[in-house]
Amino acid sequence: MLIISSREFRQNQRMYFDKVDQGEQIIVQRGKDKSYALTPIGEDDIYFNEKMIKRIKKSTKQASDGKYVEKTTSKEIKELLGL
């Protein structure tokens, strides 16, 4: 694992992206209390694949068309989450 400053990352982005592509773990520190992990996103990534984008667009349309169910009480939310 390699830990670098945000300044170092800005100056050498390409090199650090190449290292991540080769499997190296890179942590970028920003200030004293903020850190970020560089992670490549592949085609199988659940959040960014084509199937997930279609689901998000469909859900957005349903919500704008008023086709949703509101859960407002803690009991309803717990039931929804299976708690």
Check whether residue 11 and residue 33 sit in a common domain. Answer: yes
Structural domain tally of the chain? 2
Within its chain, how far is the Cα of 27 from the centroid? 16
48 or 16, greater pLDDT: 16
The whole model's pTM is what? 0.54
Residue 44 resides in a domain: no
Fill in the amino acid letter for 24. Answer: E
Whole domain around residue 76: which residue ranges? 50-81
DSSP state of 71: -
Place of tokens 């670098």: 4
Residue 12 resides in a domain: yes
CATH of the domain at 9: 3.40.1620
Phi, psi of 22 (to 5 degrees): -90, 5
Residue 20 resides in a domain: yes
At 51 the pLDDT is: 85
Residue 34 resides in a domain: yes
At 52 the pLDDT is: 84
